[in-house]
Chain A
Amino acid sequence: GQNIDQPTEMTATEGAIVQINCTYQTSGFNGLFWYQQHAGEAPTFLSYNVLDGLEEKGRFSSFLSRSKGYSYLLLKELQMKDSASYLCAVKRGNTGKLIFGQGTTLQVKP
């Protein structure tokens, strides 16, 4: 079957670094996406990993280990506007279908 696990909630301090983990078990793995979603809004694309390793984009980095079924999203120099839900999604096969985790709600405090 398919299963994606993320922590439900996390809290961090403005200016700090936070790591949001995602573990998955799925057949036909073909890449992993991270999205950011502010309350009541649409998810916005952050990153895509299909090969093992770290992808860096400004303050955000995403890591993938396919052998371990594990990914993380690293947010540096946290800002108040980073308070949002972060969704991990696994792509299955070549259909474009995504399976989403429940999301991690991050609260950034002053």
Chain B
Amino acid sequence: DGGITQSPKYLFRKEGQNVTLSCEQNLNHDAMYWYRQDPGQGLRLIYYSQIVNDFQKGDIAEGYSVSREKKESFPLTVTSAQKNPTAFYLCASSTGRISTDTQYFGPGTRLTVL
């Protein structure tokens, strides 16, 4: 089955620890995205990548880092510099073609920092 997977679904970490969230897709999509969702708020873009070995900051990149070494994978690291890391994190991918470029989302990871 083609799709986007994120693991784990729930993650707990102590304050001050870095944590890496996994995102994998087998849709052969070129573009991948990371969003953060807080209660009562819309999705906010953290980082995005339109092609392997290249990525760009989104609107709220501070305290986060990413890598895109493989087309299928776009892991997100939440560093200790992120002031309010507790949130629902969503990964998405799209073909990257200009004409349509619908983004499809993974199931999300709910991160709680204690």
Residues of chain A whose beta carbon lies under 8 Å from any beta carbon of chain B: 4, 8, 33, 35, 40-45, 48, 87, 89, 91, 94-98, 100-103
Contact = CB atoms under 8 A, between A and B. Distances in A.
B42 A4 contact: yes
B100 interface: yes
B48 A41 contact: no
Contacts of A43: 43, 90, 105
B69 interface: no
Nearest to A42: B105
A86 B78 CA distance: 28
Interface residues of B, number: 28
B68 interface: no
Contact of B50 (A40, A91, A95): A95
B96 A98 contact: no
A40 B88 CA distance: 9
Given A33-B102, A43-B90, A45-B103, 6 more contacts: A42-B105, A42-B107, A43-B105, A95-B48, A97-B48, A100-B35
